[in-house]
Amino acid sequence: MTASTVLVVGATGTIGSAVLRDLRRRGVATRAFVRDRARARAVLGDDVELATGDLADPSSVRAALRGVQRVLLCTPNDPEQVRREVTVIDAAAAAGVGLVVKIGAIGAGADSPLAFWVAHARIEQHLRSSGLPAVVLHPSMYMTNLLAAAETIGQTGRLFAPAGDARISLIDPRDVAATAAVVLTEDGHAGRAYTLTGPEALTYQDVAAQIASATGRPVEYVEVPDAAARAAMAAAATPDWFADQLIILWGRLRQGAGATTTDTVRVLTGQEPRRVAEFVRDRAHLFGSAVAAGNR
């Protein structure tokens, strides 16, 4: 594929910012679509081209697409996600963009009980009907979700979750980003949908053991009922709609929705996907590492 500019929508997020870094290392011209220039500079640095706008403003999206040949579409779960991503797709189709890569979810489906996954399915359908060349990536649950529990683990030595004995093939967002960078810069992927997972499906008991090994401190997994998990989210001021969806998600995971593993990351990137042990070892200080505590 010849060199061309990639517009990253969702550029300050975990995936978007990592894709920008990967593309820039490859020497690919990039542009970041952002709402807040100051925050974007803090996250992305001063040498990234920014296009300021809002996905609620189609004219700003059209302006950001000028001269762009490829688009990464990665926005957070939100009640407005479908409308926002459809706005980008429609503008990209009108601009004659050559490829859109969408970050979806492993369980995307129109008949899912989970609104997050229904939204992704609706966006994917619109993308297919747009006629745009496109690739959809379906990642499993991100390892970075564990960071929400890091402070509690550091303080109590316990990992609380309504996970039961579910096996979940957690994936490092860096591996999702690396795969996205490949399909954005290589030919032959248009029209494909790829399922991305980590290399192993672990229970949360397994995850607790990995964190304990990385930190040098005992960590116990404590299963909590859905009602208790929902109450904890309310106490943390999690928006009701989001908390409700997370409870549904945990239920699906307990039914096996996250247990699939694939070798897609290795096949497409040439690198083995990171394991949970590596992820938590790199961030042991966040989980209350005994070594880090001893060095204070």
| Domain with residues 145-167+199-259+274-289, CATH architecture | Alpha-Beta Complex (3.90)
5-139 under CATH 3.40.50.720, yes or no: yes
Task: Give per-residue pLDDT as tens, 13-37.
Answer: 999 999 999 999 999 999 999 999 9
Give the pair of three-digit tokens for residue 206.
């397994």
| pLDDT value at residue 258 | 95
- Collapsing DSSP to helix, strand or coil, 35 comes out as coil
User: Is 30:23 a contact under the CB 8 Å cutoff?
Assistant: yes
Per-residue pLDDT for 114 more than 80?
A: yes
Ordered by start, the domain boundaries in the chain are: 5-139, 145-167+199-259+274-289
Helices (H) and strands (E) in the chain, counts: 13, 9
| pLDDT value at residue 4 | 82
Pairing of strands 134-139, 220-223: unpaired
| pLDDT value at residue 289 | 72
Measured in residues, the chain has a length of 296
User: Is 250:229 a contact under the CB 8 Å cutoff?
Assistant: yes
Task: Give per-residue pLDDT as tens, 145-177.
Answer: 999 999 999 999 999 999 999 999 999 999 999
Give the pair of three-digit tokens for residue 197.
């997972």
Triad 27, 99, 69: Cα angle to 5°: 55
Per-residue pLDDT for 292 more than 50?
A: no
Higher-scoring residue by pLDDT: 201, 291 = 201
Least confident segment among 138-147, 229-238, 283-292? 283-292
The DSSP call for residue 48 is: S
What CA–CA distance (Å, rounded) separates 73 from 77?
12
Give the pair of three-digit tokens for residue 186.
């290589």
| pLDDT value at residue 2 | 44
Per-residue pLDDT for 295 more than 90?
A: no
What CA–CA distance (Å, rounded) separates 72 from 95?
15
Percent of the chain at pLDDT > 70 equals 97
pLDDT band at 182 (very low <50, low <70, confident <90, very high): very high
Pairing of strands 68-73, 99-103: parallel
Task: Give per-residue pLDDT as tens, 260-272.
Answer: 999 999 999 999 9
The DSSP call for residue 295 is: T
Task: Give per-residue pLDDT as tens, 227-253.
Answer: 999 999 999 999 999 999 999 999 999
DSSP secondary structure, 141-181, as one string: -BGGGGGGGHHHHHHHSEEEES-TT--B--B-HHHHHHHHH
pLDDT band at 290 (very low <50, low <70, confident <90, very high): low
